[in-house]
Copies of this chain bind each other. A is one copy, B any other.
């Protein structure tokens, strides 16, 4: 801990990679663009997986597993899809010492291979809906990579569903968007805006793409999950048909939706501070760390005994707790280390606490005396649980206030230019791809989404750039 972390406000990007490596969330690998997710980062991903998987199953989905490799010809079947993904493909040309007759691509996403299987499995309306999710790795060849945010290989889940009607597919698409928003806000304490992507920003092959967008600590936007209504595009490309109740052959309506290890980047960038990570208690691999404090050998044995009892008591109460009883480090060093690693609560136990049958709880989200309280051992489990809830709420509230403070409603193009330097700009827009492209060129801000929750466009509202009648309001921001 001798070296200091980069300052978050001075160089956000350096701070970000610093924190990841120092907190041992991830590391660079010798393979260009691929990262290693270290145990602490992977434990965070496991917590994300559990929270999402529970929600998927509660909404009737089942997990399955489809092949990593996809024949090159499959990707070509949906024209927008192939155009969108071609530049990013990793291609296997040799297997078992032989050149392959047809090259295989490593899945960048699995619509193609899953579409093929659905066409085999789905025969009748009785087989619908098909509600399947897959947890897996995907590969998209990236030129510029950044840990968690953009890596050549990443981990994600991809849901793929097939339905009898457009309405059911649209309902599913929005249901899963809601699941993502609920997860992001309740579990990750990351406030999100649910919106629709513009035509230029949607998924290659989708009818409509919905997303959740969040504001990072440097006021840039991060797309945190997407949910696509694929219409009948993939059903037609892969011949996914069913016999309806009148015994007539119909194409299915399909959806897909995904969330990736990128969300770990959001958690780091939304909540982190100059001391390091601040993990939301509901996802934190370690919710509380016990740090024993002593000088003499006699103190040591008394304090450690109480620390071990406290560990057991809290574990029995269902808290994810760790006792840091390493001899080779001082308490002060440990305080810094666990602050860097974002553990929500530190439990300090010293000789005086042993004597008075109490502990000191220190919150990660409130520095100094303000964040400290002394709690009798008898009330510890309940007090800690309440404190963890409090911290969870507080992180969410801080992030929402930060976003609100940096959200603007520019009246004209000059104001928009200034606004996107500072945060999110909610602006009226004519709906044309041309204006979108000009805005991006001139301000480096992209159309993040058209928020679902918006008032009808008032009479006379005009596009912030071209002055033509506004179609709707969109959020423009610089983004990851």
| A interface, CB within 8 angstroms of B | 27, 29-31, 34-39, 41-43, 45-46, 62-71, 74, 86-97, 103-104, 106, 113, 116-117, 120-121, 126, 132, 136-137, 139, 141-143, 152-153, 155, 328
Contacts and interface: CB of A to CB of B under 8 A. Distances in A.
Contacts of A42: 62-65
B141 A95 contact: yes
Contact of A67 (B45, B88, B132, B153): B153
B93 A94 contact: yes
Contact of A139 (B27, B68, B87): B68
Contacts of A103: 94
Contacts of A43: 62-63
| A62, A71, A328 pick with most chain B CB within 10 angstroms | A62
The 3 closest A-B pairs by CB, nearest first: A96-B141, A39-B62, A34-B67
Contacts of A86: 97
Contacts of A97: 86-87, 89, 141
B67 A39 contact: no
B153 A29 contact: no
A30 B74 contact: yes
Contacts of A113: 29-31
A228 B67 CA distance: 28
A39 B134 CA distance: 10
B67 A31 contact: yes
Nearest to A326: B126
A69 B34 contact: yes
9 contacts: A29-B117, A34-B67, A68-B68, A68-B106, A90-B94, A91-B92, A91-B95, A96-B142, A106-B106
A34 B141 CA distance: 23
Given A27-B120, A90-B95, A96-B142, 4 more contacts: A29-B113, A69-B153, A91-B95, A93-B94
| A34, A67, A74, A152 pick with most chain B CB within 10 angstroms | A67
Given A29-B117, A62-B42, A126-B328, A36 B67 contact: yes
A30 B29 CA distance: 32
A66 B29 contact: yes
Contacts of A66: 29, 36
A67 to B, nearest CB: 4
| A87, A106, A121 pick with most chain B CB within 10 angstroms | A106
A272 to B, nearest CB: 21
A71 B31 contact: yes
Contacts of A37: 64-65
Contacts of A29: 66-67, 113, 117
A31 B74 CA distance: 11
A122 to B, nearest CB: 13
B36 A65 contact: yes
Contact of A155 (B62, B65, B120): B65
